[in-house]
Amino acid sequence: MTDVANDDIGGSGYSLEQLSDYLDRGRTPAIEEIDGNAECQAILGSLERYGSLSRDLVSRDAAEHPEIDENWFSSLLSTITREVKAGRDIPLASADPRTSISITEGAIRGLVRAAGDSIDGVIVGRCTLTDAALGENTPSAITVDVSISVLLGSSVRAAAEAVRQSVYGALLKHTELQIDSVNVTVSDVHVIPIDGDAR
Partner 1 sequence: MTSLPHELENIVLAMPGVVTVYSSGPRVAIGALELTNGSPSRVEVTASGQGSDPERIVVNVGLDASAQAPVTATAIASAIRAALPAGAATAIVVRISSVTERT
Which residue among 111, 144, 146, 162 contacts partner 1 (CB under 8 A)? 111
Q: Phi and psi for 113 in degrees, rounded to 5?
A: -65, -45
Binding flag, residue 94, partner 1 (CB under 8 A): yes
175 touches partner 1 by CB under 8 A? yes
Contacts of residues 125-130 at CB distance under 8 Å and 24 or more positions apart, as own/partner, are 125/76, 125/79, 125/149, 125/187, 125/188, 126/79, 126/83, 127/83, 129/105
The CA-CA-CA angle for residues 119, 123, 129, to 5°, reads 95
Do 112 and 127 contact (CB within 8 A), yes or no? yes
Q: Which helix (H) or strand (E) holds 189?
A: strand 178-190
Contact (CB, 8 A) for 70 and 81: no
The 43-82 site mask, x for binding partner 1 (CB under 8 A), equals --x--x----------------------------------
Considering the rule CB under 8 A, would residue 92 count as an interface residue with partner 1?
yes
Q: Is 38 near partner 1 (CB under 8 A)?
A: yes
Residue 28 interacts with partner 1 (CB under 8 A)?
no
Q: Minimal distance in Å, beta carbon 9 to partner 1? A: 11
**Span of 29-37, 72-80, 120-128, 189-197 interacting with partner 1 by CB under 8 A:** 29-37
Which residue from 55, 85, 174, 190 is in contact with partner 1, where contact means CB under 8 A? 174
Residue 144: name the closest of 127, 126, 161 by CA: 127
Residue 166 beta carbon to partner 1: minimum distance, rounded to whole angstroms: 12
Q: Using the minimum distance from each CB to partner 1, give the nearer residue, 69 or 162.
A: 162
Residue type, 121: G
Under DSSP, is residue 1 helix (H, G, I), strand (E, B) or coil?
A: coil
Which residues between 124 and 153 bind partner 1 (CB under 8 A)?
Answer: none
Name the site residues for partner 1 (rule: CB under 8 A). Answer: 11-13, 33, 35-38, 41-42, 45, 48, 86, 89, 92-96, 98-104, 106-107, 110-111, 114, 118, 170, 173-176
